[in-house]
Amino acid sequence: MTGLLLTDALCERVRAARRVLVLTGSGVSAESGVPTFRDAQTGLWARYRPEALATPEAFARDPGLVWRWYQWRRQLVTRAEPNSAHRALVRWQALRPELVVVTQNVDGLHRRAGTRNLVELHGALDRYKCSRDQQPLDLAALQDSHVPPACPRCGAAVRPDVVWFGEILPQAELAAAHSAVQRCDLMLVVGTSGQVYPAAELPAMALDRGIPVVEVNPAETPLARSATHWLRADAGTALPALVGCLADPGGPPG
């Protein structure tokens, strides 16, 4: 029982869709206890300044501070568990194997829930790379207690493999996101304020193609007016309800 009533039109769209694209932001992990970025009081950017912690300049200025902040965030997400929204997407994908999840989240919770066809646009807190040549590094294998550890090949500082402000997104992931927008027949946008580009332009690209876009967010965002449907609800309530459409006795159309 989810307590959320969906219109027949929306349920029918969910049943008919085969190539579903789900774009998620930090709101999808809020019910796992992971802070969002811009929510007043609780958002990370209400307590910390992005330019002091999440830029290449900040890392060059004070690598130890930035490293410790990211290790704190990594510990936080390691203790968190995927919630009913993450799990609902896994069930949806079992019924619609072409479903793609493009996430701006670095918390790894979609991966831990078992999502396949996952595009992590902003990197991941549990991956590391050399800050000089960007080659991936296995932190556990380094056995270096320096803060941050040094790259065993060149001695440069090791950094988290996440996208910082002012950096370009990993090109393969961005290309995968664009191709998913071009292929999808339904798009969901879940738990993102839509303020960070290029992720924020993906819903408009789908709408330009005439694809229905369903927004799931308890708060109004710039997308709410143009979205085909806006579910003003928490992800942990809305996503199980949407997957429930697939279990209707009528079953999916031919």
Query: By CB under 6 A, which span of 135-143, 151-159, 177-185, 214-222 interacts with ligand OAD?
Result: 214-222
- Please tell me whether residue 38 binds ligand OAD under the rule CB under 6 A: yes
CB of 51 to ligand OAD, least distance (A): 11
| Residues noted as catalytic | 122
Q: Which of 235, 241, 242, 245 binds ligand OAD (CB under 6 A)?
A: 235
C-beta closer to ligand OAD: residue 170 or 251:
170
Nearest-CB residue for ligand OAD: 27
CB of 182 to ligand OAD, least distance (A): 22
Q: Which of 14, 187, 192, 223 binds ligand OAD (CB under 6 A)?
A: 192
Query: By CB under 6 A, which span of 34-42, 59-67, 72-80, 206-214 interacts with ligand OAD?
Result: 34-42
Nearest-angstrom CA–CA distance, 157 and 149:
6
- Please tell me whether residue 82 binds ligand OAD under the rule CB under 6 A: no
Nearest-angstrom CA–CA distance, 230 and 213:
9
- Burial degree of 112 (CB within 10 A; 0-12, 13-18, 19+): middle
CB of 155 to ligand OAD, least distance (A): 27
- Please tell me whether residue 43 binds ligand OAD under the rule CB under 6 A: yes
Strand order in the sheet with 123-130: 136-137, 123-130, 158-162
- Please tell me whether residue 170 binds ligand OAD under the rule CB under 6 A: no
Binding-site ranges for ligand OAD (CB under 6 A): 25-27, 30-31, 36-39, 43, 54, 104, 122, 163, 191-193, 195-196, 216-219, 221, 234-235
